[in-house]
Amino acid sequence: MDILDLARKSGMTVVLDAKIGRQEYRTVHGSVAALERFAELFAASMHDELVEQD
């Protein structure tokens, strides 16, 4: 699961703040509604992963 992809899909903005060597520092911005969508997408993604394991 790519958590940054989930953030983008939920309507949040992901900003690359810095890259030092191989380490990347990002900031995620969004509304409360986008955060709620993110939580729903995250829960659905976790559910799908658990179902695939069975």
Alpha helices in 10-53, H assignment, sequence order: 32-53
Give how many domains the chain has, as a whole number.
1
Rounded to the nearest integer, the mean pLDDT of the chain is 95
> Rounded CA gap, 11 and 8, in Å?
5
* 8: pLDDT strictly greater than 80: yes
Q: What is the dihedral of CA 32, 37, 42, 45, to 10 degrees?
A: 180
Could you list the residue range(s) of the whole structural domain that residue 34 is in? 3-53
- What tokens appear for 44 in the block? 């659905």
Model pLDDT, residue 15? 98
* 3: pLDDT strictly greater than 80: yes
* 54: pLDDT strictly greater than 80: no
* 52: pLDDT strictly greater than 90: no
Mean pLDDT, residues 11-38: 98
Model pLDDT, residue 41? 96
